[in-house]
Structure 1
Amino acid sequence: MNPVIARHAIYLPIQRALGGDLKVALRFHADIERQPESELEKYQEGALKELLDHVFSNVPFYREIVRKQPDLRTKDPFDILARLPIVSKADIREDISLFRDSKYTPFWRSTSGSTGLPFRFCKDRPSLLQMDAAMHAVYSWYGIEIGDRQARIWGRALRPRQRMAQGVKDLLLNRRRLSAFGITRETSRTFFSALERFRPAFIYCYPNAAVLFARYLNDMSLNGRALSLKAIICTSEPLLENHRSFLTDAFGCPVISEYGNSENGILAFECERGQMHALCGNVILEFLNNGKPASPGCLAEIAVTELHSRSIPFIRYRTGDLGAPRAERCTCGRPLPLVQLSCGRDHSFILRPDGTRVHAALLAYILKQGILQFRVIQLNLRELIVEFVPDHTYTDGLERIFRKRLHKYFGKEFFIRFRKVAHIPPEKNGKVLYFVSQIGTQL
């Protein structure tokens, strides 16, 4: 689809029909990038005050806090924020009604379960508008405009009805998809041929999946540079430097790291100078050690406060990631603060006995029903262990269903053991991994 048609005949009209003006919101985020630091802090203070006033009056969890501590309302917004509890995904799941303002029309969403802990939540229209605007503002750093054609190397829905809905959404958003769950020499050849006709402006991807795609192209002497991409945006997994170099060489364009989540959108984005900026127009990022602010350069737990969220206000929300604030400012000239993310070695593919690979994100599509949290461990080319924490809807019959699905997508040769556990502990870096490979041979 022509990007101009996609932008003006589909994308922007849909946004207006949903009650938001994306152009206005986009100008706001672009203006934020040009403000001096003092003005940026003043904006955040005002937006945070509005958010806190809202939750103290309308959200049961926070209404109870201010009832017990009425003096909170008289304090500076940043001081109030520091006194509020850190909230986790599990806290909200336990009783979502405590965290909801039911006056807002809910737009229900769910996380992919990339931490092994799937999570269903709702957003409101104003927060979705600001998430979209923040995204398009940073994409514009690389000349990517609303409606530009996108190639997507990502997950694909497993059920026919969901897959059909996903296909319609891809069509409306002007994108073509290569399933990260089935990247082979043949699917790579077919997808590349489709992209030669489609002419995408950029690729949005799991970095490990993009590297596998690029390696198949190299093996077949297909020139990724011929696509003339503006950028490759990598998210959901750590972007390793050797992968960045490989993709840059294969496609001849900037390879960018994006940090975010399903709940709050993009939290930080890499600029042209290779630095990660927190997106302060939409979020406040805190780096906390035992609940206290970490010093610049010190690794700490990341908590996010989404300034425009109202239906479920995400305040001091635990992301499950580690990072560090940085004191220096970027030479790109933007006032947005710099952050450093902790990225360990990422094992993202399950290896089949025949040597082919399937992206482990598929596990989050399979192990949903009746499970609070899971972790899959690949011991070798024929053994998988599935550790899981059941919820109140779990029945023994689900194990048979899960085994059948796992065999369907990963191969019947696998011997699969299920282990019901009370808790899945995090790794040394604080992250709970949903997949662990003990084979040691990855990309």
Structure 2
Amino acid sequence: MFARQVYFILQSMRIQWKKPEELKKLQEKRLKKMIRYAYEKTALYHKKFRELNLTPSDFNTLEDIKKFPYVTKADMRDNFPKDVVSTECDVSQCLKATTSGSTGQVLPIAYSRAAYEYYMAVSYRNFAALGFKPWHRFAYTRYEPIKIGSQFLEKFGIGQRKFISVFSEPEEQVAQVKAFSPHAITGYPSLMIEWAKILKDQGNGIHPLFVRTEAEILTKEAKKFMEDVFGCELYEEYGSAEFVHLAFECLHRGYHIPSDSIFLEFLKDGEEVSPGEEGEIYATSLVNYAMPFIRYKMDDRGVPLDELCTCGRGFPLMKLVVGRDDDFILLPSGKKVNPRLVIPVFELASGVKEFRVVQEKRDSITVDIIPDSTFTETDKNNLENSLREIITEPVEIMFNLCEEIPHGRHNRPRPIRSRVRE
């Protein structure tokens, strides 16, 4: 509904300027409503709450959330749709998305239309935080186009957007972006850097106000390279299919948690970490009643902060996500190698179109590479030498040159994947 979309946009734009105390009260109100709804309308949460002798009346303040059980991707996937989708919802009428975990098994996600419209309002607010205006054009690359919009307004130059399919060849993607001439671009870092390489060879031709990346690790080397080519600032957003938006950057570089649509916890050994300390992220949706996510284990890490951004928004801040647990390479000694050290080795390497590093055992890794026509044995040796400088323990490095790196229909592969556990 167009009127509801406009209402959500206006509401979300006002909410961001509320004081932290007001936002906490709003979270408590929405979280209490979500817990009661999930208990009454979904079998999974009803069962989990009852197993701990909990009812919705046991939640009164945000501190009470720690009493309630968390859920995993496996919980949601194995019980979809019967026990996790609201009994009031017809799954066939819901808006849908999918996401894949480290096993490659797909988790279907159902959104109510109202929830998706609210997420889109939050999306507009996040863009506006970077200077985006209603009459600006934006191009985005994903597996599927955004499901909600107004073609009527687009005819008058409002909310114009261009969907760029990830399945197109990079050269075709760049041609589409050039033809559209967007004010803003958003997409996966691994694709954006391919665009930047092509644009550099072509002498650029795109001049956006800003570029925003999402869903993958962005290294400082790739960020600088893309900013130099695009000639603008590059910002990051932390998102997921389950919650759409978990944190966003503003012009002041604060990394804001949109606490009107989500409640985040940062835990270590089940306890909340102190500000400035790294913890595992657990997320609760405050708006999607079709398929409630309460204390959902994200398998991501982040750092909560106890300060406010100089932009004046009341949203809590966090530091950028370092990476998922299975993004870190685990060495024989138990030492972890940060993916941000490994990825730059490949991003700007000569002759590499796409890459993936997979670890099955502590003492070996496999490097999949899609080479271009210029890739040589010397390039491979240079890559191995660079990796040896980072991976200083006896680990076998095997290279696999291939024409395609397989990945799921809705899951762009993360460049580093370790299946080794501590």
Fold match (TM-score > 0.5): yes
Q: Indicate whether 1:49 and 2:41 are aligned.
A: no
How many residue pairs get matched? 346
Extract structure 1 runs of 4+ deviating beyond 6 A: 167-173, 348-351
| Structure 2 residue corresponding to 1:140, chosen from 128, 142, 159 | 128
| Structure 2 residue corresponding to 1:240, chosen from 219, 225, 228 | 219
| Structure 1 residue corresponding to 2:78, chosen from 78, 89, 94 | 94
Alpha-carbon distance change, 91 to 194 in structure 1, aligned in 2, over 3 angstroms: closer
- Residue identity in the other structure for 1:281: D
- The equivalent residue for 1:310 is 289
Shift of 1:233: 1.0
Shift of 1:250: 1.4
Q: Indicate whether 1:259 and 2:238 are aligned.
A: yes
Asked if 2 retains the 8 angstrom alpha-carbon contact of 1:287 and 1:302, the reply is yes
Within 1, Cα distance between the matches of 2:284 and 2:165?
A: 33
Asked if 2 retains the 8 angstrom alpha-carbon contact of 1:349 and 1:358, the reply is no
- Residue identity in the other structure for 1:275: G
Within 2, Cα distance between the matches of 1:201 and 1:73?
A: 48
Within 1, Cα distance between the matches of 2:274 and 2:95?
A: 37
| Structure 2 residue corresponding to 1:357, chosen from 338, 353, 356 | 353
Shift of 1:43: 0.9
* Residues 348-396 of structure 1: per-residue CA shift (max 9 Å, x gap): 9999xx94524769x9xxxxxxxxxxxxx7446599xxxxxxxxxxxxx
Determine helix, strand or coil for the equivalent of 2:245. strand
Determine helix, strand or coil for the equivalent of 1:119. strand
Alpha-carbon distance change, 336 to 170 in structure 1, aligned in 2, over 3 angstroms: closer
Alpha-carbon distance change, 437 to 315 in structure 1, aligned in 2, over 3 angstroms: closer
- The equivalent residue for 1:175 is 162
Alpha-carbon distance change, 328 to 132 in structure 1, aligned in 2, over 3 angstroms: same
Determine helix, strand or coil for the equivalent of 1:144. coil
Shift of 1:29: 1.1
Please list every run of 5 or more consecutive structure 2 residues that lacks an aligned counterpart in the other structure: 152-159, 324-338, 359-364, 372-399, 407-412
- The equivalent residue for 2:256 is 277
Alpha-carbon distance change, 241 to 59 in structure 1, aligned in 2, over 3 angstroms: same
* Percent identity between the two aligned chains: 23
- The equivalent residue for 2:390 is none
Alpha-carbon distance change, 315 to 147 in structure 1, aligned in 2, over 3 angstroms: farther
- Residue identity in the other structure for 2:322: S
Alpha-carbon distance change, 437 to 339 in structure 1, aligned in 2, over 3 angstroms: closer
- The equivalent residue for 1:5 is none
Shift of 1:195: 3.4
| Structure 2 residue corresponding to 1:39, chosen from 15, 22, 40 | 22
Shift of 1:243: 1.8
Normalising by structure 1, report the TM-score: 0.69
Determine helix, strand or coil for the equivalent of 2:288. coil
Mapping of residues 352-391 of structure 1, within 5 Å: 355=351, 357-358=353-354, 378-379=366-367
- The equivalent residue for 1:411 is 403
* Residues 370-427 of structure 1: per-residue CA shift (max 9 Å, x gap): xxxxxxx7446599xxxxxxxxxxxxxxxxxxxxxxx9x9539x9x9xxxxxxxxxxx
- Residue identity in the other structure for 1:130: Y
Determine helix, strand or coil for the equivalent of 1:99. coil
Alpha-carbon distance change, 196 to 382 in structure 1, aligned in 2, over 3 angstroms: closer
Asked if 1 retains the 8 angstrom alpha-carbon contact of 2:35 and 2:56, the reply is no
Shift of 1:119: 1.2
Q: Indicate whether 1:298 and 2:277 are aligned.
A: yes
Within 2, Cα distance between the matches of 1:268 and 1:168?
A: 21
Determine helix, strand or coil for the equivalent of 2:100. coil
Within 1, Cα distance between the matches of 2:370 and 2:178?
A: 38
- The equivalent residue for 1:374 is none
Determine helix, strand or coil for the equivalent of 2:122. helix
Shift of 1:77: 3.8
* Residues 13-68 of structure 1: per-residue CA shift (max 9 Å, x gap): xx43xxx6111111111111111111111111111111122122222223234545
Shift of 1:151: 2.6
- The equivalent residue for 2:119 is 131
Q: CA RMSD in A?
A: 3.6
| Structure 1 residue corresponding to 2:89, chosen from 82, 98, 104 | 104
Alpha-carbon distance change, 236 to 294 in structure 1, aligned in 2, over 3 angstroms: same
Shift of 1:339: 0.5
Asked if 2 retains the 8 angstrom alpha-carbon contact of 1:208 and 1:348, the reply is no
| Structure 2 residue corresponding to 1:342, chosen from 322, 329, 332 | 322
- The equivalent residue for 2:333 is none
Mapping of residues 10-89 of structure 1, within 5 Å: 15-16=1-2, 21-67=4-50, 69=53, 73-89=57-73
Within 2, Cα distance between the matches of 1:75 and 1:277?
A: 25
- Residue identity in the other structure for 1:217: L
Alpha-carbon distance change, 54 to 250 in structure 1, aligned in 2, over 3 angstroms: same
Within 2, Cα distance between the matches of 1:67 and 1:86?
A: 13
* Residues 63-84 of structure 1: per-residue CA shift (max 9 Å, x gap): 2345452565144242442111
- Residue identity in the other structure for 1:151: A
- Residue identity in the other structure for 1:294: V
* Residues 166-204 of structure 1: per-residue CA shift (max 9 Å, x gap): 699999673042637733xxx1xx554543432212111
Shift of 1:208: 2.5
- Residue identity in the other structure for 2:204: N
- Residue identity in the other structure for 1:101: S
Within 2, Cα distance between the matches of 1:86 and 1:167?
A: 29
